[in-house]
Structure 1
Amino acid sequence: MANPVTGARAKLPDIATIPLLRPSYHWRFGSKVDEIRKVVLSESPRRRSYAAMLIFTGRQSGAPAFTTAERSAMWRLAPCRDGVEDAVHHDGRFYSVSYSGAVEAWEHQANTGVFLSRTVGPRLPAGDEEDADRRDRRKYLAVAPDGRLMAVLKDRKWVLVDRHRPRDQNACVFKVHMLDEARAQWEEATTDIGDMALFVGVNTTLCVSTKEYPGIRAGCVYYTDDESSRKEPEPDRNGAFRSSKDGDHYELQDLGVYSLKDGTVERVQALPRHPRWPPPVWFTPSM
């Protein structure tokens, strides 16, 4: 793997050791999955004491794969009925959320090298069963500055976009839940997350304190489009399809700020759009 900002590289096990991948006649490797969505690290692999969790796309993709520095020659699959949608490393273990809303904590078994899970709290809402596989509905995990585990639920609805030029548009909306470990319950914090702000997208979900980063707006979710496989245009409110050349309709899918307090969306004009570019990602510099 490579750091796209610094160019630093670190070696992970060969993907050929993943049981879901198999030799293909036309390609070097074929697979039972759409693509690898992300790799979650416990710490920098350059320190030689890391663990890594690999997540595939698609609800039918099955189990996540794990590796550690001590057993770095291969990836090991772990049992998971619903498929992992997102994961985060916190307090010495991996936490994952499945497509059906189950949140689990994964523990490494030193004697066998495998990772086993236990359920954390009740199942998160996953929407209607017929909509469970919708690509525009997502679940993310994050860790608050005070150490609490957070779940962020994304959907798409008609909302008020850009307070300076008010108009309705089909854009992302978010709900936030925080885990009460003592009661093993999720508490919904839809409109108030205090001085915190969230960053969600195709890479690791972040939760930061706006007191430490005054340029960031409290109570907001900063989001990027994380549907790298989406090719087709989507209909507007009147049922008409618009191309990526139409501007606003697709710019908001790329980069926006959602206010949990009033439910409005404000676009961030930072990056030009190109149909072949991958989704933008967030990164935190370490200095």
Structure 2
Amino acid sequence: PPHTDYFDCTYKDGLLYAVTLMGEIHTFDLSGPAVTMNTIMGVDDDDDFGIQGAYILQAPWGGLLLVWRLKVYSGNPDDISALTLHTKGIKIHEVDVAAKKLVEIDCLHGHVLFLGHNQSLCLSTKECPALKENRVYFTDDNEYITVHKDSRRDIGVLRLDNNSWESLVFPQLWSNWPAPVWITPNLTMMKLSLN
């Protein structure tokens, strides 16, 4: 308190960075006898993107990325149990902590993002050549999954160059529990086991 609705967090340089659902970024210094909180970015009231997911993660090239995800409902509005959410768009910002501002970017330059119910990641396509650069791989991450266990899942790949959606799994799967998550492999251990 007084802040609620945290959506994602990451730990960097001794600080816990947490982002609210509306895109406000707070830092928590956990090193002292008392936890101190600072607001490094307020809510952007001029943004009409309609954020329904906010993620904060470390960029491999240094710094932080703030990612906003827009989702839209589809289905019969008269039957709430039949409504499903679908990712419609992604906005990516580099966070300038010193200036307390966001710089929108539309290219990941040889990298990809993974967004979902668990840890958000930004990976190099040079280290993971099976991945297609400048894409956002996403899975469900909403609480509605607990209510709509038999609904179609929001799983796919969004191309940042033209904002088009690609299927990640075909045919689209229904999965009734738990929410789909990304599994982060330990690349060092994988290389060792191959040798």
Q: TM-score, normalised by structure 2?
A: 0.76
Rounded Cα–Cα distance in structure 1 between residues aligned with 2:88 and 2:122: 18
2:80 maps to what in 1?
none
Q: Specify whether residues 171 and 106 from structure 1 end up closer, same or farther in structure 2 by C-alpha distance, changes over 3 A only.
A: closer
2:69/2:87 contact within 8 Å kept:
no
How far 1:275 sits from its partner (Å)?
Answer: 4.6
The aligned counterpart of 1:103 is 25
Structure 1 counterpart of 2:96, which letter?
D
2:119 aligned residue (199, 204, 224): 204
The answer on 1:92 being equivalent to 2:14 is yes
* Equivalent residue runs for 1:30-109 within 5 Å: 79-109=1-31
**Which amino acid in the other structure matches residue 15 of structure 2?**
R
Structure 1 residue 118 corresponds to structure 2 residue 118? no
The higher-RCO structure (CA 8 Å, 6+ apart) is 2
Displaced runs of 4+ in structure 1, greater than 6 A? none
Change (3 A) 1:109 1:279: same
Q: Provide structure 2 residue ranges, at least 5 long, that are not aligned to the other structure.
A: 74-85, 190-195
Is the 8 Å Cα contact of residues 101 and 126 (structure 1) preserved in structure 2? no
Q: Is the 8 A contact 2:14 2:30 kept in 1?
A: no
What is the CA–CA distance in structure 1 between the aligned matches of 2:162 and 2:96, rounded to whole Å?
Answer: 25
Across the aligned residues of Structure 1 and Structure 2, the Cα RMSD in angstroms comes to 2.9
Partners of 1:105 and 1:119 within 8 A in 2: yes
**Structure 1 regions of 5+ residues with no counterpart?**
1-78, 159-169, 234-242, 245-249
Correspondence list, 1:117-196, <5 A: 117-124=37-44, 137-156=52-71, 171-189=87-105, 191-196=106-111
Q: How far is the alpha carbon of 1:284 from its aligned partner?
A: 1.5
1:1-16 superposed matches below 5 A: none
SS at match of 1:263: coil
- Whether the aligned pair in 2 keeps the contact of 1:86 and 1:139 (CA below 8 Å) is yes
Aligned partner of residue 280 in structure 1, secondary structure? coil
TM-score (norm 1): 0.53
- The structure with the largest alpha-carbon Rg is 1
Aligned partner letter, 1:266: E
